[in-house]
A and B are shown apart, each in its own frame.
Chain A
């Protein structure tokens, strides 16, 4: 086991049918890093994220957790290390907010075990962190889209994985909650114990909050520190639309022309 690396890939090749997402990708994610995955629609961002989470077999190459091949771990062990926030959630039998957050504790409980006071504490703290603690007893399908998104975030926090893989977590969120969630993730990463990888469509937020990025462009992948690879040329190439780089008080801002 290698404590300096949370998740890594070795010669990872991922295709969707005839479309290449990445080819021979070597990626190393360490605790204390926050990565952005950027790419145009259909570039395969979600597919790559699911492959990193062990939910999809790569076409070639391997994913490793702390230096050990992911297929050597049981599902439960993976779930204790890797958490995923999915793009959509669709629950035909909605439970209460608290019950839903508690499923984040699932990987830590044995077959006959019930959630104990510590699990409920963790779940309550996670709800407080996303501002949903007053809605614990509400049935999930009475929540708004943004509240449901924050609930998914709280479930991920209750899961407390070494690395959180988030698929467009800012969908449906207003400006304040977008900032709250990104600040929350940044603080989690800055504690030095955890890593985060996040699919974003807003390059400005990626530049501001993430220290590293993976740019997916028709099978060609660029990766590295955001300060080095995220510039107006790279963004223009990535999305096929020209942008200007402007220096602003919060950092660099990319403005579409």
Chain B
């Protein structure tokens, strides 16, 4: 008879045995485990917040931050910032445009719904392996961060926007290709397969069956990626791929707080505009 089974008559609570919380030991264990895990992590990251407040680092920080006000608004400088901001947007746009050109064939090749041999049972070996290869290429392109592609291209083509455009093109090409394929395969395949069954070609089936079904979602995703690319292209500047990031890197290395402040504000505004534009477009498309 467990202590709990004595509690049948309501109101006779006095005979209850006092219980301990069964979860308590577990909680203590997990708490200690968390400390045991956190400790080496904090050591590895050299987590010493007090470093921030040591005079040797506090003084330059305060001086740098003090320079932030007022931001630099000299006309010549502003013109340069405007030009670099446009370059940032241009790198993102050109990158996405090339990425689109990479992604569309990758996606079309890798969609299983467009397989003619799969209509009558299993897919043949050759098309299956081609589809698999296209998928692998997309995943490989995507798995390398754009910053690393940029480092590689800076070595190959030199400093400047070309490296940034190519880096965005490759990473985003992989991403778009993979997601396009996922979007296109997620829908109802009936319209497409019936076109294929009636003897139309794969591309015809794509344009008349798959694409109209999914065009809004595809466009919306591409617009969202464009917004992401703008953030990326600003960051890529830090490794020498041109645009706002590169100027910011230079100004930071010279501890020019006022210039950094202006560029940060411009960048925040740019992200905000891209964010609202993309949100508006996606809403208009939905």
Q: Do A and B come from one complex?
A: no
